[in-house]
């Protein structure tokens, strides 16, 4: 099962309508269920549940910047609310994690929390999401974060590592037997690049296109077709060349944000995006150099194609029957490129 880790869903600024536009049928959602982002964890979850699209919910009941485990009184207050929700929506699986990324060495203290989840929320599935702590054998299933793949029966989320900067296909394949794998990007936490705002101060929550771009990364990208142009003219996109499906999400720079960026060694005013049969579907426009010797071309600049990477792939498929593209610069063709997925090298 695939999911979106909508951790900031409880915020008053969360765009619930945009989320509903993006959700496919049979999706799992994740969120922070305490007041980390705001007071609307349950109301906003209910809005998504009422759509009938959500079949699983994973709620993190506690977050602490010091990675402390949840206080027992807080856990006692939250659990009955989520148990009530699970009973109201019996067709939906509810997974409750007592603490998100906790560091606790005491097995006794951890056991108190997992036992309380099982006692006060018997209609839900107990989850353990440790950062550095013992695993309680009968304390519920385990959740892992970041680039760590999920093992059979576990939950996994790229929380903390935006999926679009990872080798998404590798992570998906390694996590294929996980019970749920959640996609995450910074806007799921309301954050842009270089964020210094606390969760309740954030407003940069995802729109439908951002969420759809994450969802596309959860499916295979397929095999590129053989292009009609001369193979000798094709240059693979390898380091130091780079295509980021999501350019850096800079505050106040909405033009280039989250749309593709291509870095090449030659400067030209623009480059053309072409299908395997050499049909032009749009342009990337030159923006600026990237030291020491690369040049940046963007989808989101005036005169460029101005689409998300997954939208470029969709447009290519409409024109040619394949989502794969190449970028033509002079007599060279850089690719193959599936614009929904980063190519060249990945963040590690």
Q: In which band, very low, low, confident or very high, does the pLDDT at 209 lie, cut at 50, 70 and 90?
A: very high
SS3 191: coil
Domain extents for the chain? 2-216, 231-337
pLDDT, mean of residues 8-37 = 98
Q: Say which residues have a Cβ less than 8 Å from residue 4's Cβ, sequence separation at least 6.
A: 22, 23, 27, 28, 29, 30, 182, 183, 184, 188, 211, 214, 215
Estimate to the nearest angstrom the gap between the alpha carbon of 302 and the chain centroid: 27
* Dihedral angle, C-alpha 56, 5, 175, 131, nearest 10 °: -110
User: Beta-strand (E) ranges in 69-194?
Assistant: 93-103, 125-132, 141-145, 155-157, 180-183
Cα(244)–Cα(249) distance, integer angstroms: 12
Q: Residue 238: which pLDDT band, with cuts at 50, 70 and 90?
A: very high
Q: What is the pLDDT of residues 156-200, one digit of tens each?
A: 999 999 999 999 999 999 999 999 999 999 999 999 988 899 999
The residue assigned the tokens 């029957």 is: 321
User: Kind of pairing, strands 242-244 and 234-235?
Assistant: unpaired
Residues 67/29/172/334 CA torsion (nearest 10 deg) = -100
Contact 175, 181 (CB under 8 A): yes
Over residues 124-137, the mean pLDDT reads 97
pLDDT tens-digit profile of 291-326?
999 999 999 999 999 999 999 999 999 999 999 999
pLDDT confidence of residue 347: 83
The residues facing 328 across adjacent strands are: 272, 333
DSSP state of 332: E
pLDDT of residue 255: 85
Right CATH number for 2-216 from 3.20.20, 3.30.70, 3.40.50, 1.10.287? 3.20.20
Round to whole Å and give the CA distance between 328 and 281.
11
């Amino acid at each position: 099962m695939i999911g979106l880790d909508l951790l900031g869903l409880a915020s008053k600024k969360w765009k619930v309508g945009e989320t509903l536009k993006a959700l496919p049928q049979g999706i799992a959602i994740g969120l922070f269920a305490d007041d980390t982002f705001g007071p609307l964890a349950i109301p906003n979850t209910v809005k998504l549940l009422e759509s009938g699209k959500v079949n699983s919910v994973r709620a993190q009941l506690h977050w602490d910047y010091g990675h402390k485990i949840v206080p027992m009184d807080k856990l006692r207050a939250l659990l009955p609310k989520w148990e009530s929700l699970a009973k109201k929506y019996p067709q939906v699986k509810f997974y409750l994690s007592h603490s998100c990324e906790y560091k606790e060495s005491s097995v006794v203290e951890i056991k108190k929390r997992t036992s309380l989840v099982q006692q006060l929320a018997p209609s839900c599935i107990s989850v353990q999401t440790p950062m550095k702590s013992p695993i309680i054998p009968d304390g519920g299933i385990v959740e892992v974060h970041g680039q760590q793949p999920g093992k059979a029966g576990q939950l996994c989320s790229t929380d903390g590592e935006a999926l679009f900067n990872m080798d998404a296909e590798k992570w998906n394949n390694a996590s294929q037997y996980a019970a749920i794998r959640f996609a995450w990007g910074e806007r799921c936490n309301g954050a842009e690049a270089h964020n210094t705002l606390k969760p309740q101060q954030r407003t940069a929550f995802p729109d439908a296109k951002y969420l759809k771009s994450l969802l596309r990364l959860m499916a295979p990208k397929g095999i590129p077709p053989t292009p009609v142009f001369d193979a000798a003219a094709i240059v693979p996109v390898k380091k130091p060349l780079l295509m980021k499906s999501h350019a850096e999400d800079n505050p106040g720079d909405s033009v280039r944000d989250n749309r593709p960026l291509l870095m090449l060694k030659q400067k030209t005013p623009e480059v053309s995006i072409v299908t395997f049969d050499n049909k032009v579907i749009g342009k990337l426009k030159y923006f600026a150099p990237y030291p020491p010797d690369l040049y940046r071309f963007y989808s989101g600049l005036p005169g460029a194609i101005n689409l998300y990477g997954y939208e470029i792939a969709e447009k290519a498929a409409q024109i040619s029957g394949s989502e794969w593209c190449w970028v033509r610069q002079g007599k060279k063709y850089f690719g193959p490129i599936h614009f929904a997925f980063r190519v060249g090298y990945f963040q590690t």
